[in-house]
A = this chain, B = another copy of it.
Amino acid sequence: NISIGSKALQISGLLQPRYQGFQQKGVNDAFDLHRARLDAKGNITDSWSYEIYVEFASSVKLIDGYTAYKFADFAKITAGQFKIPFSNENLVSDSQLEFIDRSQGVEALVGRSKDVIGNSNGRDIGLQLSGNFAKTDDRFLFDYGVGVFNGAGYNVSTDNNYHKDVSARLVFHPLKNLDFGGSWYRGQGIPTGGTKSQARNRYGFDGHYTLGLLSLNAEYIHGTDAAIQKDGWFVQAGYFVWPKKIQLAAKYDTFDPNKTTTTDRTYVYTGGVNFIFNRWTKLAVDYLFKHEETVSPIKNNVFEAQLQIAF
């Protein structure tokens, strides 16, 4: 920690240079800087914390900007711009993901790149109450978070509709390494390029299990945008073939952008290897087999290699 006066301030960062190779015609293989972020966070008092987290890659923007006060284990208030309490994969930090990409369902339904309201990196501006309760010997049995948000995405100074959105999430830890989560979201918003406010509701379930070198994750998310029903789910497994050094991972991920259309579901089968060099660095190599539920499928598999420095 860097201590400034009597206040604690830590500065850290995340760098992800990446190479992507695309099978699809017209999409060029390219190097990019997936993320280049700096983070300033700290504690004003034991109970009072803050964070300013900024993305500098491609276009510069604020990711997180919030302050939180913890009254007790069961009650912490957070105000500002931060991740909405919805979905486990949304809440896993970028540097901790087992794959380079998040799942289709999270990208489309949790305020990310394919959501109707545009990409807000899973964040929004609002107020949240969160905490843990029902303590056993080594853990709390439950975590929860419930928040009220604009529902108009992050980095905006106005709301495009007068409704506030509500997001809630409850996680149950029956065993130390086993979690079950449920998430619920009810909102109103104007979709990107649209003019009229419409319903934007979601719910989802997820489960996670870690046993020694093995990790298992599964998630289901259902969304309603105006009258359109959508859903997606994935299962993924990770296994350290060389403990703490080399992890193999596989994922089955499917998403249906319109439940009444029968030929629009997409499947992504991902195989990956993560090389963990030390506490701060990782090389992730992923191959994504993409399959579309159409008469003539597109050749659009993707190869990705990403180096990660989290300092």
- Bound-state CA distance A219–B155 (Å) is 34
Given that A9-B11, A36-B65, A58-B157 are known contacts, is A50 also in contact with B309, CB under 8 Å in the complex? yes
Given that A50-B309, A60-B60, A80-B17 are known contacts, is A32 also in contact with B65, CB under 8 Å in the complex? no
Surface stretch bound by B, among A137-145, A158-166, A231-239:
A158-166
Chain A positions 271-311 with a Cβ under 8 Å from a chain B Cβ: 278, 280-281, 307, 309, 311
| Cβ A31 vs Cβ B125 within 8 A | yes
Chain A positions 1-53 with a Cβ under 8 Å from a chain B Cβ: 1-2, 4-5, 7, 9-13, 15, 17, 19, 28-33, 36, 38, 40, 42, 44-45, 48, 50, 52
Number of copies: 3
Residues of chain B within 8 A of A50, CB atoms compared: 13, 15, 309, 311
Given that A67-B307, A155-B58, A281-B44 are known contacts, is A160 also in contact with B28, CB under 8 Å in the complex? yes
A61 interface residue per 8 A CB criterion = yes
Given that A11-B11, A65-B36 are known contacts, is A161 also in contact with B126, CB under 8 Å in the complex? no
| Cβ A52 vs Cβ B65 within 8 A | no
Task: Report A11 CB to chain B, min CB distance, Å.
Answer: 6
| Cβ B33 vs Cβ A65 within 8 A | yes
Residues of chain B within 8 A of A9, CB atoms compared: 11, 311
| Chain A interface bracket (under 10, 10 to 19, 20 to 34, 35 or more) | 35 or more
- Bound-state CA distance A60–B56 (Å) is 9
A250 interface residue per 8 A CB criterion = no
| Cβ A62 vs Cβ B67 within 8 A | no
- Bound-state CA distance A183–B116 (Å) is 48
Residues of chain B within 8 A of A38, CB atoms compared: 40, 52, 54
Q: Of B125, B159, B161, B164, which contacts A33 at CB under 8 A?
A: B125
Chain B residue with Cβ nearest A79? B17
Q: Which 5 A-B pairs have the closest CB atoms?
A: A30-B159, A36-B65, A17-B80, A17-B79, A56-B62
